[in-house]
Structure 1
């Protein structure tokens, strides 16, 4: 993809419609260089092809039968088609040597060309319902169009395989990643034509993987410093120390026993397996015992 244009709304311009304006904008660098361009029926028109022909740019494209300047003699065939597959009819336009052809495939195909003649006819292979292949006569303009129009579709196909899937409401981010994918796809196409890079472009995925390693080049993002592993692994999990009622009988307080005091209590610490006095104060034996022994 060498050029593209982002649609930003309707423009006040004397050109014949949006399609004509886009084609003319993208072909400014081809004026008087005798290039051949191809476009689909959204962009094609008799008036556009006439203007391009005057600037020595030759165009071929499918054409809608309701476009201004479409030959009246071909409108019936363009709408109803021919009774036999492979039959065609062409008309030479009165201006600038334009050729308009209608060819019967599975349905009528309309093509306008500025550099293809009506004769001689080419041949195209089509598969029948029986599974057999058969050759049908075909105008040269249609055969040429089918050969070269796939460039845009092929480029879109290559971009869609592994494109950057980032969604955003900010249009410039979507536009940036689209341009990035186009640059990568163009690089793949150019690398395939270079024998020195044939090993890198075995596939689209292989090329993108090699490009990823080159772009990273040992880069590592800065991470926040977390808790040390030793703090997470050495700290043992244990049950909470709660004062519970034991068997309901009075027992000697263990902390008082250590202090040679004789005090009794019914409260019991299940974790430590001892009886301790507790009244909800800081001086209680329950709190003092756990401060000194934990």
Structure 2
């Protein structure tokens, strides 16, 4: 949900959501890394087509580009229905999700079974390729799946007070708990360091949403594909955004730079303070010493405890390390 409280024909009101008023977005994200692969803005009912319902139509439309790929699709209780699972299976996709007991076609024997009283008790039924299950945790949990073997039962643990109690659960429950949550994870990353500001134009909110999604997707791809060494042991989301901002700003400054003075003040090019090839900027042993780059280029005396682990010389970590080795390689 994109928060927007102004006048808009397709603005939605959902009192149960943290963001109650705004533009609703349907999203398809990867289950393991939360990469956003497809989305659609909800504009209301289109052409008065109901068919199997809104949830069924949304899932089928978002999964058009991955049909016949034998992938697993997970969704929550709003979308789940037996016709949807069958349609996905016919399209070459396996699915799993929680389901309301009043959905059309859900077995009556599994709605409120009297023989399931203890934690870990379960009951499963199968019809064709669809497996329906009820499992007792703190309360009854109902799942339907086309990717689960009804004879496959997994081990799980639940905490009761200070004790950890081992229980058994169906494969559909195990798979749902493990792989569900890609959309929530993407929303969390997007809202942690959200870009944008308030305004009256609704289209600006959609633009900020697209920009934030692009940044999150870029971070996810970069964190998986990069082999670059950094000073930090863990390259976090905020580190990626700060580096992105510095790259976009470049050498821009609001005030004009004075002529003369610092040799790098005019026509200055932004130099990354990250490691250069195998030259790693680390904290050297011993006392702080004058930075060699400051003394050579700026003729200034600036002390630092950081330096190059390969060259064994002291260099400031805020640009001098990269600038020194780039100058040496020229």
Pairwise same-fold verdict (TM > 0.5):
yes
Alignment of 1:134 with 2:165, yes or no, is yes
With normalisation by structure 2, the TM-score equals 0.63
The SS at the match of 1:84 is coil
Alignment of 1:55 with 2:87, yes or no, is no
Partner in structure 2 of residue 40 of structure 1: 76
With normalisation by structure 1, the TM-score equals 0.70
Higher-helix-fraction structure: 1
Conserved in 2, the CA contact under 8 Å of 1:191 and 1:197?
no
Partners of 1:179 and 1:169 lie apart in 2 by 18
Partners of 1:156 and 1:115 lie apart in 2 by 26
2:212 to 181, 186, 191: 181
Alignment of 1:9 with 2:44, yes or no, is yes
Partners of 1:15 and 1:170 lie apart in 2 by 34
Q: Which has the higher contact order (CA 8 A, sep 6+)?
A: 2
Partner in structure 2 of residue 103 of structure 1: 135
Alignment CA distance shift 1:104-1:197 (3 Å): farther
**Structure 1 residue 36 displacement after superposition:** 0.9
Partners of 2:87 and 2:56 lie apart in 1 by 10
Partners of 1:222 and 1:111 lie apart in 2 by 62
Higher-strand-fraction structure: 2
Partner in structure 2 of residue 230 of structure 1: none
Partner in structure 2 of residue 86 of structure 1: 120
Partners of 1:22 and 1:84 lie apart in 2 by 37
Q: Which has the larger radius of gyration?
A: 1
Q: Any gaps of 5 or more consecutive residues in structure 2?
A: 1-35, 257-330
Alignment of 1:121 with 2:153, yes or no, is yes
List per-residue Cα deviations over 1:130-149 (Å, max 9, x = no partner).
x1212210000110011100
- Within a 5 Å distance, the mapping from 1:84-233 to structure 2 comes to 84-93=118-127, 95=128, 97-129=129-161, 131-197=162-228, 199=230, 202-221=235-254
The SS at the match of 2:155 is strand
**Structure 1 residue 14 displacement after superposition:** 4.7
Partner in structure 1 of residue 317 of structure 2: none
List per-residue Cα deviations over 1:89-131 (Å, max 9, x = no partner).
11102x4x100111111111111101101112101111111x1
Conserved in 2, the CA contact under 8 Å of 1:191 and 1:198?
no
The SS at the match of 1:189 is helix
Conserved in 2, the CA contact under 8 Å of 1:128 and 1:134?
yes
Point out the more displaced range, 64-73 or 159-168. Answer: 159-168
Partners of 1:75 and 1:197 lie apart in 2 by 54
Pairwise CA RMSD: 1.9
Alignment CA distance shift 1:52-1:174 (3 Å): same
